[in-house]
Amino acid sequence: MEAVINPILLYTLLGVGGLGVLLALPREKVNPQAIGALIAAAGFGGIFLALGLKAGSNHPGLFFYLFALIALGSGLRVITHPKPVYSALYFIMTVLSSSALFLMLGAEFMAFALIIIYAGAILITYLFVIMLATQAPSEEDLETLSEYDAYSREPAMATAVGFAVLALLTGMMAKGAAELAPSGGLRQSEALLTELPGKAIDALDRHGVFDGGALVRPDKTQAAELIDPVHRVIMLEVKDAEALRRLFERSPLAASLLGSEERVAALKAGSVNAGDRIEVKLPADVVVSSVDGVGWDLIAKHPMGLELAGVILLMAMLGAVVLARKQIEMGEAEKLDRVRSRGGEASGVAGARSAGSGGMAGAMAGSAGGGGGAA
């Protein structure tokens, strides 16, 4: 029986970690946050150690542990720091470390997309709102924390529930990991090459394979069938054997792709005729990058999702606009109507009233409190 990790060890260390997190949560009087952090580090570190030992030579590498530590540590700090601005900043650090982990997993596009979108947009928005909604410190005490920031609410219950979920999740995952089908098989990223013939042809062009008309340059639909992603070759038709020989002699770059000494001998011997198919190796720079892969999956395999994502974003935008309008009281709306009906040319009145929204529409929509229903 092979277990990913001994369950008793797992749950015990999770318990230790839970205790640490519980101690680290901010509370009123005694605040053993540092000790709590250490205990939590010990708990989680122990689990990672066990996993690493189990992995043996397959362990994910030093950088994984480093970034995992940073991620968990700053995640812990997000929930335990009393000041909200600091929480947001630590979350940014969490995002950064998880993008590093994405990099290690070979998902470069996602890594940077994460940074751009998450850290760069969403969290900045959060910071704006935090600073907007925090009450300004008065002159006497510049450092007061609001009461709801300083203390955590029912830390014991929260920690217990959280770690119960964690224990169950990790347990299930370990079980599932044991039943997981082995990875490997056709590298799908390579398999994508057949879908991207333009890349291959462009690369061959750059290497000068099609110079002198030696080989037939297929178009994209034809080339899709001609590429063999497993061996990384493309089958090209010879148009002119003589030109092919000349290509061999003139361009060593192309020659490297076109074949070995045998091919050369065959060419010289004249055994290669027009219409023959030869294998041409694909250059090394013909790779399907992560961007390619993601883009292809997104558009070719999940087009509907893409459209729906767009719709969702549009709706979110509309909803945000509706929600964030300036509030207009009922009485104010009626005043607006009366003003409008009396003398409509004084557009300054109308303009001055509802900043950033249609006056009539805003007046008729009433107070914006329930506008969140649009979202």
Partner 1 sequence: MPSTFSNPIALLALAAEPAALNESASSVAGPAWFALIPLLPLAACVLCGLTVAMRVRTKAPAWITVGLLALSFVVTVAGFMGWNGGSGTPQVAKVYDWIHVAWAGADSAVHTFVADFAFYMDGLSWLWMLFVTGLATLIALYASEYMEHDVGKGYGRFFAAFALFVFAMACLVMADNLVLLYLGWEGVGLCSYLLIGYFYKKPSAVAAAKKAFIVNRIGDLGLAVGIFLTYVTFGTVEYAELFALVEKGVDGDGQALAGMWQAWAIPLLFMVGAFGKSAQLPLYVWLPDAMEGPTPVSALIHAATMVTAGVYLVARMYPLFVLEGVPHYALWAVGWTGALTALLAATIGMAQFDIKRIMAYSTVSQLGYMFAGLGVLTSVGAAFHVFTHAFFKALLFLACGAVMHGFAGQLDLRKLSGLRTMPGWRIVSITMLIGCLNLAGFPLITSGYFSKDMILAEAFVTPGAAGIGWILLVTAGLTAYYTFRVYFRVFEGPQHYEPGDELHGHDDHADDAHHHAHEHEPADHGHAHADHGGAQEHGHGSKPAHEWHPHPPKWAINGVLAVLAVLSFAAIGTYFMDKAHHGWVGGMVHRSSAEFASPFAHHDPAHGTEADGEHGHATAEAHVAAAGRFLGMDPHKAMYYVSAIVGLIGIAAAWWLHLAGRTSAATSRADALLPLLGPVPRWAQNKWYVDEFYDFIIRTPLWVLANVCHMIDRLLVDGLVNGVGLLPQLLARGLRPSQNGRLHGYAAGMAGGLAVVLLIVFLVVFSA
Partner 2 sequence: MNTLSSLQLCTEAPLSPGAVTLYHYLFLSASMFAIGIIGFLSRRNLIIMFLCTEMMFQAAGIALVAFSRYHMNHTGEVFVIFVLTIAAAEAALALALVVLLFRRRETLDAEAWTELNG
Draw the binding track, 246-285, toward partner 2 (x: CB under 8 A; -: no contact). ----------------------------------------
Site for partner 1 in 156-195 (CB under 8 A): 157-158, 161-162, 164-165, 168-169, 171-172, 175-176
Kindly state the smallest distance separating residue 2's Cβ from partner 2, in Å: 5
Q: How far is CA 187 from CA 62, 184, 191, 282, 300, in A?
A: 26, 7, 6, 16, 18
Residue 52 near partner 2 by CB under 8 A: yes
Q: Which is nearer to partner 1, 9 or 161 (CB)?
A: 161
3-state secondary structure of 217: coil
Q: Which is nearer to partner 2, 19 or 266 (CB)?
A: 19
Q: How many Å is the Cα radius of gyration of the chain?
A: 32
217: left (phi over 0), alpha (psi -120 to 50) or beta: beta
Residue of 45, 151, 217, 243 that binds partner 2 (CB under 8 A)? 151
Kindly state the smallest distance separating residue 151's Cβ from partner 1, in Å: 12
Instruction: Report angle CA 276, 279, 284 to the nearest 5 degrees.
Output: 150
Q: How far is CA 219 from CA 184, 198, 359, in A?
A: 32, 8, 58
Draw the binding track, 99-138, toward partner 1 (x: CB under 8 A; -: no contact). ----------------------------------------
C-alpha atoms less than 13 angstroms from C-alpha of 137 in its C-beta half-sphere:
8
Draw the binding track, 95-124, toward partner 2 (x: CB under 8 A; -: no contact). x--x--xx--xxx-xx--xx--xx--xxx-
Which ranges of 228-289 would DSSP assign to H, the alpha helix?
241-250, 252-258, 261-269
Site for partner 2 in 296-355 (CB under 8 A): 296-298, 301-302, 305, 309, 312-313, 315-317, 319-320, 323-324, 327
3-state secondary structure of 357: coil
Are the CB atoms for 81 and 87 separated by under 8 Å?
A: yes
Instruction: Report angle CA 325, 92, 33 to the nearest 5 degrees.
Output: 110
Residue 153 near partner 2 by CB under 8 A: yes
Give the Cα separation of 299 and 186 in Å (integer): 21
Kindly state the smallest distance separating residue 236's Cβ from partner 2, in Å: 28
Q: Which stretch binds partner 2 (CB under 8 A): 84-92, 205-213, 245-253, 267-275?
A: 84-92
Backbone angles phi, psi at 235, to 5 degrees: -90, 115
Q: Which is nearer to partner 1, 32 or 162 (CB)?
A: 162
Q: Given the rule CB under 8 A, which residues bind partner 1?
A: 153-154, 157-158, 161-162, 164-165, 168-169, 171-172, 175-176
